[in-house]
Amino acid sequence: MVAKRGNAEDYTMALVAHDGKKPAMLEWARRNREALVQFKLYGTGTTGGLLHKELHLDITRLLSGPLGGDAQLGALIAEGKLDCLIFFIDPLSSQPHDVDVKSLTRLAVLHDTALAMNEETADAILAHMQRKQL
Which residues does the annotation mark as catalytic? Answer: 70
Count of C-beta atoms within a 10 Å radius of residue 120? 9
Q: At what angle do helices 22-31 and 45-55 cross, to 10 degrees?
A: 40
Instruction: Residue 43: name the closest of 79, 13, 20 by CA.
Output: 13
d(CA 48, CA 85): 13
As a whole number of Å, the end-to-end CA separation of the chain is 16
**Residue 21, burial from CB neighbour count under 10 angstroms (0-12, 13-18, 19+):** buried
